[in-house]
C-alpha cells in the first residue's frame, strides 16, 4: 500500500465527530443495493471498515444481520455505542485482510462504504470471494466531491489558500461533475471472480455552516494529517470567507458510485 504518513490510520482520531460530520448516504443508494443484490430480511452482511456505523445503521434497520470490521479502536468503540440498540450487529476490531470468523461462516453480501480503496488491491477481491456464499454479492462505493455546473464557487475561491500552505491539488486533479464519476467495472471483470450486476451513480447536496464544514474536514485523512499551523490558517480562512456571505453557508455536492457484483463459481 505504502500510503504517505499511512493515512488509513488517521481516521481513528476523528471517532468523536465522524458520525455527525460525515454525510448520510441517500436512501436511493440503499434501495439500489438491496434490489441489485436481492437482499432479504435476515441475510448476513459483512461490512468492511464500518467506522462509527454510518452505513451500518440504515442497513441494520432493514433487518439484516451484520458483522462489521473496524481496525481503529476508537472508531470500533463508537460504532458499538451507535449500534447498541440493534440486536443483530457485531463489531469486530480487526482489518479485512486479517479477519477470520470465529466459526466457519459465509455471508450473503460483503460491502464497503468509502473503505474499499484503502484495502490491499492484491487480496481484496479474493478475500471477499472466499467469505461469500455461492451466488453472494460484493458491493462498494465511495463518497466524493462533485462540482455541478453553476455550483457553489466557494471551493474555487478557497483553493489559493491550499496552494499557499503547500497543500495544492496534484497537477492531474480533476473536478468531476455529477454523473461523471469513474467506475471500476473493468477492474471487477478483470478479477474473474465476480460478475458486475449494477454500477450506479447517486448524487446529492449538503449545506454546511462554517463549523459544520470544518467538522467535515476534520474527518478527511489529508486534513487530519496536516501540520497544525497549516490547518489553523486554512480553517481561519474558511470561517472568514463564510462569515462574509449573507447566509454564512456553503453547498457541497456529493457523488457515490455504487458497484454491485455477483460471486462467480
**Is 49 part of any domain?**
yes
**Cell reading at 64:** 439484516
Does residue 223 fall inside a structural domain? no
Distance CA 225, CA 10 (A): 7
C-alpha 173/C-alpha 4 separation (Å) is 18
DSSP state of 184: -
Output the pLDDT for position 136: 98
Residue 107 lies in a domain: yes
Measured CA to CA in angstroms, residue 25 lies from 63, 124, 156 at distances of 18, 23, 25
In a domain, 165, yes or no: no
Please name the residues in contact with 49: beta carbons below 8 A apart, sequence gap of 6 or more: 69, 70, 71, 96, 112, 113, 114, 115, 118
Please report, for the domain that includes residue 118, its CATH number. 3.40.50.150
The secondary structure element, H or E, covering residue 137 is strand 132-141
DSSP string, 218-233: TTSHHHHTS-HHHHHH
Residue 10, pLDDT score:
61
What average pLDDT does the segment 71-97 reach?
94
Residue 23 lies in a domain: yes
- Digit-coded pLDDT (tens) for 47-57: 999 999 999 99
- Name the nearest CA neighbour of 132 among 98, 112, 105: 105
Cell numbers 471483470 correspond to: 189
**Tens of pLDDT, residues 136-170:** 999 999 999 999 999 999 999 999 999 999 999 99
pLDDT band at 3 (very low <50, low <70, confident <90, very high): very low
Whether residue 2 is predicted with pLDDT greater than 50 in this model: the reply is: no
**Domain assignment present for 151:** no
Asked whether residue 213 is domain-assigned, the answer is no
- pLDDT of 13 over the 80 cut: no
**Range of the structural domain that residue 81 is part of:** 4-144+175-204+254-263
**pLDDT digit string, tens, across residues 181-199:** 999 999 999 999 999 999 9
Number of folded domains that form the chain: 1
Is 0.75 topped by the overall pTM? yes
Is 120 domain-assigned? yes
Amino acid at each position: 500500500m505504502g500510503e504517505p504518513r499511512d493515512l488509513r490510520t488517521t481516521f481513528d482520531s476523528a471517532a468523536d465527530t465522524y458520525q455527525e460530520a460525515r454525510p448520510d448516504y441517500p436512501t436511493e443508494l440503499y434501495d439500489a443495493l438491496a434490489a441489485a443484490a436481492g437482499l432479504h430480511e435476515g441475510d448476513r452482511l459483512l461490512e468492511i471498515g464500518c467506522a462509527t456505523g454510518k452505513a451500518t445503521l440504515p442497513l441494520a434497520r432493514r433487518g439484516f444481520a451484520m458483522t462489521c470490521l473496524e481496525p481503529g479502536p476508537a472508531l470500533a468503540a463508537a460504532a458499538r455505542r451507535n449500534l447498541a440498540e440493534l440486536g443483530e450487529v457485531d463489531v469486530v476490531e480487526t482489518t479485512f485482510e486479517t479477519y477470520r470468523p470465529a466459526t466457519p461462516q459465509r455471508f450473503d453480501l460483503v460491502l464497503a462504504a468509502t473503505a474499499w480503496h484503502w484495502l490491499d488491491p492484491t487480496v481484496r477481491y479474493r478475500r471477499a470471494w472466499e467469505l461469500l456464499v455461492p451466488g453472494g454479492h460484493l458491493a462498494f462505493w465511495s463518497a466524493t466531491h462533485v462540482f455541478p455546473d453553476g455550483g457553489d464557487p466557494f471551493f474555487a475561491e478557497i483553493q489559493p489558500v491550499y496552494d499557499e500552505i503547500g497543500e495544492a491539488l496534484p497537477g492531474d486533479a480533476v473536478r468531476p461533475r455529477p454523473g461523471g464519476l469513474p467506475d471500476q467495472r473493468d477492474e471487477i471483470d478483470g478479477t474473474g471472480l465476480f460478475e458486475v450486476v449494477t454500477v450506479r451513480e447517486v448524487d446529492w447536496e449538503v449545506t454546511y455552516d462554517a463549523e459544520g464544514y470544518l467538522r467535515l474536514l476534520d474527518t478527511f485523512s489529508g486534513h487530519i494529517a496536516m501540520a497544525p499551523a497549516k490547518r489553523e490558517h486554512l480553517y481561519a480562512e474558511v470561517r472568514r470567507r463564510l462569515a462574509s456571505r449573507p447566509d454564512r453557508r456553503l453547498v457541497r455536492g456529493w457523488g457515490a458510485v455504487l458497484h454491485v457484483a455477483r460471486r462467480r463459481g
